[in-house]
Structure 1
């Protein structure tokens, strides 16, 4: 048990000579962000995952089969928007991929721009909806009232908040996923943790409990779960804007971790 606690601590507070350095705590923070955004997207956008995006392929099949509660356009829009983010992430990798600190700094900064735009867009749409002189035409009437809370979409209903948030948050998560894939820090993909959970059980069974990397892996799983819990609690009370604010704080924390190290000669900064 002590070794697992030390492993968990070293994931969050790595030693100076750690192979992955500050990448580990930064990716734990981004895993928390993924939990936040998926809580918001699944609960408010009509059964879509913005971070764990592959689930939308299954949801698209459900929607085509007219399963209750699933709308095809939300899954399709999320997939397309995510791909756009992955394309942006690829361009960032091409330019900054040989310096992990700079790569994560730039990609997180781009994510931050998308999330800030989503927050400002939410307030802008709410302001338009609350201003009678601006929402008198039919196109604006589908925007909700002055509260951030969203309408759950149906086949006959489209909420501009949801369209705008998907088109801004899905690219942000596409960038995050492409970045995590390039960094390739073990057990820290930031989104899909199926292999992380499998690794805990399979490695313990095959090699013994001490070889399961339980401490490291449970940290990232708890980050995702706690992010989802936080997002769900905020969304249940209509605080979608606060979810975006918490995401912004987490992204700023990642930027603060990376910024002093872009010219560092630490082993984790350069290509491995």
Structure 2
């Protein structure tokens, strides 16, 4: 147990000679961001996952089969927007991939631009839209005009708030996924943790708990779950704008970690 706790601590506060350095805590933060954005996207944007985007392929099949609660255009728009983000992430890799700190810095800055644009877009649409504020009708809308909440889409209803958020948040997560893939820090993909969970259980079964990397893997799974919990609590109270603000704070923290290290000669900064 002590060794697992020490491993968890080293993931969040790495030693100076750590092979992955500040990449580990930065990616843990981005995992928390993925939980936040998926809570928002699944609960408010029409049963889509903006970060764990694989599920949208399944959801698209559900929508084509007219399963209740699934709308084809939200899944299709999410997939296309995510691919655009992955393309942008690829160009960032092309120019900055040899320096991990600079790569993560640039990709997070671009990701931040998308999230800030989403936050500004929510306020502009709420202010200038001819329709009711997001998620309210009558007296309820008046009460919640300062706390936006999204209208859930139907086959005949297309909400500009939902379109805007998908088109801005999905590319941001496409960039994050491409960055995490390039950095290749073990057990920290920031989104899909199926293999992390499988590895933890399978390695324990095959080699004993000392080989399970339990401390490191628990940290990242807790980060995703806590992000989802935080996002769900905020979304159900109509605070989508606050979710975006929390995301912005996390992205700024990652930028603050990377900025002083772009010219560092630490082993984790250069290509491995």
Same fold (TM over 0.5): yes
Separation (CA, whole Å) in 1 of partners of 2:46 and 2:94: 35
Separation (CA, whole Å) in 1 of partners of 2:54 and 2:84: 15
Matched with 1:86 is: 86
Paired residues for 1:53-92 under 5 Å: 53-92=53-92
Separation (CA, whole Å) in 2 of partners of 1:31 and 1:118: 19
Structure 2 residue matching 1:229: 3-state secondary structure: helix
- 1:143/1:159 contact within 8 Å kept: no
Structure 1 residue matching 2:165: 3-state secondary structure: helix
CA RMSD across the alignment: 0.9
Paired residues for 1:256-267 under 5 Å: 256-267=256-267
Paired residues for 1:1-272 under 5 Å: 1-129=1-129, 135=130, 141=131, 144=134, 146=145, 147-272=147-272
- 2:133/2:148 contact within 8 Å kept: no
- 1:143/1:160 contact within 8 Å kept: no
- 1:142/1:160 contact within 8 Å kept: no
Q: CA deviation at 1:142?
A: 7.9
Q: Deviations over 1:150-182 (max 9, x none)?
A: 000000111110000000000000000000000
Structure 2 residue matching 1:264: 3-state secondary structure: coil
- 1:13/1:25 contact within 8 Å kept: yes
Separation (CA, whole Å) in 1 of partners of 2:42 and 2:176: 18
Separation (CA, whole Å) in 1 of partners of 2:132 and 2:59: 24
- 1:33/1:227 contact within 8 Å kept: yes
Q: CA deviation at 1:143?
A: 6.7
TM-score, length-normalised on structure 1? 0.95
- 1:143/1:161 contact within 8 Å kept: no
Q: Deviations over 1:33-72 (max 9, x none)?
A: 0000000000000100000001000000000000000000
Separation (CA, whole Å) in 2 of partners of 1:221 and 1:109: 25
Gaps of 5+ in 2: 135-140
Separation (CA, whole Å) in 1 of partners of 2:157 and 2:35: 27
Separation (CA, whole Å) in 2 of partners of 1:187 and 1:246: 24
Q: Deviations over 1:69-111 (max 9, x none)?
A: 0000000000000000000000000000000000000000000
Q: CA deviation at 1:217?
A: 0.2
TM-score, length-normalised on structure 2? 0.95
Gaps of 5+ in 1: 130-134, 136-140
Separation (CA, whole Å) in 1 of partners of 2:150 and 2:236: 11
- 1:142/1:159 contact within 8 Å kept: no
Separation (CA, whole Å) in 2 of partners of 1:200 and 1:152: 37
Structure 2 residue matching 1:152: 3-state secondary structure: coil
